[in-house]
Amino acid sequence: MFIMDTQRKEQDPTLVCTCNDLYIEEIRDAINIGIYDYLEIMQYSDTLLRCGECQPHVEILVKEILATTNKTTD
């Protein structure tokens, strides 16, 4: 059973998903090619859905990154 390692996330703010060692840069790569959905981002990053606790963080990042690039999910 997987749970998020919040201590590792606190130590490294660029780490998003501790179950899969997924970092902000990898999420940015997915968004840059038009992938905005959590599960699709996980698939693109070649990861498996484990605890799912990183979903809110990923969704915030999608919004933040889109806001800085003036793109929308529409």
Q: Which residues sit at the interface with ligand FES, rule CB under 6 A?
A: 2, 4, 17-20, 50-54
In the complex with ligand FES, the residue whose CB is nearer, 11 or 72, is 11
In the complex with ligand FES, the residue whose CB is nearer, 53 or 66, is 53
Of 39, 28, 29, 13, residue with least CA distance to 63:
28
Smallest distance, Å, CB 50 to ligand FES? 4
61 touches 26 (CB < 8 A)? no
Span between the terminal Cα atoms of the chain, in Å: 36
Smallest distance, Å, CB 71 to ligand FES? 24
Smallest distance, Å, CB 45 to ligand FES? 10
